[in-house]
Amino acid sequence: MKLVGVELIRVRIPLVAPFRTSFGTQEARELLLLRVETSVGEGWGECGAIREPVYSSEHTDGVEQVLRDFLVPELGRAGEFTANAVGPLLARFKGHRMAKAALEMAVLDAELRAHDQSFASLLGSTRDTVACGVSVGIMDSVPRLLDAVAGYLDAGYLRIKLKIQPGWDVEPVRAVRERFGDDVLLQVDANTAYTLADARHLARLDPFDLLLIEQPLDEEDVLGHADLAAHLRTPICLDESIVSARSAADAIRLGACRVVNVKPGRVGGYLEARRVHDVCAAHGVPVWCGGMIETGLGRAANVALASLPGFTLPGDTSASERYFRFDVTEPFVLEDGHLRVPTGPGLGVTPIPERLAEVATGRLWVRS
Residues tagged active-site: 163, 263
Length reported for the chain: 368
The neighbour count for residue 262, using CB atoms within 10 Å, is: 27
Cα distances (angstroms) measured from residue 126 to each of 22, 315, 335, 340: 35, 16, 18, 12
Q: Which of 124, 176, 182 is nearest to 145 (CA)?
A: 176
Measured distance CA(113)–CA(35) in Å, rounded: 13
Please give the order of strands across the beta sheet that includes 213-214: 133-136, 159-163, 186-189, 213-214, 236-238, 259-262, 287-289
End-to-end CA distance of the chain: 13
Cβ density class 148-167: b for 16+ within 10 Å, e for less? bbeebbeeebbbbbbbbbee
DSSP state of 145: H
Task: Evaluate the CA torsion angle 349, 355, 359, 365 in order and state its sign.
Answer: positive
Phi, psi angle pair for 172, to nearest 5°: -60, -40
Cα distances (angstroms) measured from residue 93 to each of 80, 98, 111, 221: 20, 12, 23, 24
CB 295 within 8 A of CB 110: no
363: enclosing H helix or E strand: strand 360-367
The neighbour count for residue 112, using CB atoms within 10 Å, is: 22
Q: Which of 209, 233, 202, 204 is nearest to 160 (CA)?
A: 209
Q: Which positions ≥6 away from 89 have C-beta within 8 Å? A: 74, 75, 78, 81
Q: Which of 34, 46, 40 is nearest to 72 (CA)?
A: 34
